[in-house]
Structure 1
């Protein structure tokens, strides 16, 4: 009869744990609670795969329409040295086939931004190296905004489990900050976009989850990415002198970005001051 008593004792503890909201995941083993685990439903998984296949098919169709080239030299750059080689190879191609090159460039940029593939900063540098600031800056801002918007809607569809799994505590903090700034949400979003306070990837994914309206997200992205994009595109003009992407954000650059970001939230700070007075 000892075994049944142990079994009842274990079951009793399990029942008490369940009543208190505890379980195996709250044990001192370091496992995450079930609410923080990556739990993508079957429908969400199928939707994610379907969207990725649609985007990939479109990108492949664009690839088929591109003029012939030495595709063996075309690869996504992962370092500044890779980018220099790619720029040398694409300079004549972009000059001979400007429309086709622009279509391919925009498609790759938006695809990478939508599906959170690292490397868009190299494409921004490439735009500066090939087109200069006057043409390169609008091109980068357009692609970054379009890709971020696609990522916004993708996250609205399937992003909540992913963000909760990766950045649960940060998401809660972000949600509380947004709730406190609903009256001046555009100014706060501009501050986040201009300054490196939060990663752009997190902002793209978390914004629909914390109920930021798309028009606010779109305007903040379109305007807020201009300062940083200008710095990156301008650096692309001197690609030969650039050693690493880390050199883009020195103390002076970060100070300028935070100054611009502070200006963007001045209306919010002034309004709070008047309320307390």
Structure 2
């Protein structure tokens, strides 16, 4: 009969068990690291920035004239947006300056911390302020929010972006490396066209070493076409059934055409070099 394994003595069994426990602990640590790419210090920085922004937003809301806050909520559908527009119409006309301050601070807060729903805020600007004022508000707020997100990512965003979009980040970095001499044109193309999501561009730009002045100019100018389309659509909320209706084939074709114009100088220069 075979002797039983010695798991409690000084034999090899104990070493095997210890090795297995060590391997399991190491695997558990790797899993936790993969799940939570941000370090404790990153969380502290992010929470501090979030707390500062939240405090500022609350202070603005508390100084505004009283409103029926139960009717105010971030819209998630076109139906929600229509109700919000009806509830805010008289308030916006009665307290225009304070309402615009609250609108701008909310838009920038959402853009900074990647909260979905800014497209509804853009539609709301068109519905409440008209095309001209709504367009100016949306472009300035979207640019300010994107720049704020840029600096937040510069502080703590690298591990998060590398964890969420590793392949897309490598692709973006390679494309940026090829186009350093005409970087503004390329960034304009990306902002105008839906080639890459704006959220990804905001977060990854500081990681791939895009200069801030290039990022700012490309964002300010590149967001204008899509912002105009969205704000103008806000004038006819009753005819709009879904956000998807904003960007049909015709609209996307126009955006790609405008974007192609932005990279035309770079393509022309490359052609001359090869000739």
Do Structure 1 and Structure 2 share a fold, with TM-score over 0.5? yes
Post-superposition CA distance 1:185-219 (Å, at most 9, x none): 00000000000000000000000000000000000
Residue in 2 aligned with 1:92? 90
Residue in 2 aligned with 1:179? 177
Q: How far, CA to CA, are the matches of 2:13 and 2:104 in structure 1?
A: 68
> 5 Å matches for 1:75-114?
75-114=73-112
- Relative distance call for 1:7 and 1:81 in structure 2 (3 A) is closer
Q: Please tell me whether the aligned partners of residues 38 and 161 of structure 1 are also in contact (alpha carbons under 8 angstroms).
A: no
Q: 1:237 aligns with which of 235, 251, 268?
A: 235
Aligned residues: 260
- Relative distance call for 1:256 and 1:99 in structure 2 (3 A) is same
Post-superposition CA distance 1:83-102 (Å, at most 9, x none): 00000111111100000000
> 5 Å matches for 1:236-275?
236-275=234-273
TM (norm. structure 1) is 0.89
Structure 1: where are the runs of 5+ without partners? 15-22, 26-30
1:212 aligns to what SS in structure 2? coil
Structure 1 residue 45 displacement after superposition: 1.0
Structure 1 residue 38 displacement after superposition: 3.5
Q: Please tell me whether the aligned partners of residues 73 and 86 of structure 1 are also in contact (alpha carbons under 8 angstroms).
A: yes
2:157 aligns to what SS in structure 1? helix
Structure 2: where are the runs of 5+ without partners? 1-10
Residue in 2 aligned with 1:51? 49
Structure 1 residue 33 displacement after superposition: 11
1:40 aligns to what SS in structure 2? coil
Please report the RMSD computed on the Cα atoms of aligned residues, expressed in angstroms. Answer: 2.0
- Relative distance call for 1:5 and 1:76 in structure 2 (3 A) is closer
- Relative distance call for 1:262 and 1:219 in structure 2 (3 A) is same
Post-superposition CA distance 1:245-277 (Å, at most 9, x none): 000000000000000000000011111111111
1:178 aligns to what SS in structure 2? helix
Query: Which has the greater radius of gyration?
Result: 2
Q: How far, CA to CA, are the matches of 1:183 and 1:32 in structure 2?
A: 41
Q: 2:61 aligns with which of 60, 63, 73?
A: 63
Post-superposition CA distance 1:74-118 (Å, at most 9, x none): 110000000000001111111000000000000000000000000
- Relative distance call for 1:94 and 1:7 in structure 2 (3 A) is closer
Q: How far, CA to CA, are the matches of 2:32 and 2:177 in structure 1?
A: 25
Q: 1:117 aligns with which of 112, 115, 118?
A: 115
- Relative distance call for 1:174 and 1:104 in structure 2 (3 A) is same
The structure 1 segments of at least 4 consecutive aligned residues displaced by more than 2 Å after TM superposition are 1-8, 31-34, 36-39
TM (norm. structure 2) is 0.90
1:243 aligns to what SS in structure 2? coil
Residue in 2 aligned with 1:148? 146
Post-superposition CA distance 1:45-99 (Å, at most 9, x none): 1110000000000000001001011111011000000000000111111100000
1:197 aligns to what SS in structure 2? coil
Residue in 2 aligned with 1:158? 156
Structure 1 residue 43 displacement after superposition: 1.6
Q: How far, CA to CA, are the matches of 1:184 and 1:52 in structure 2?
A: 35
Q: How far, CA to CA, are the matches of 1:127 and 1:2 in structure 2?
A: 73
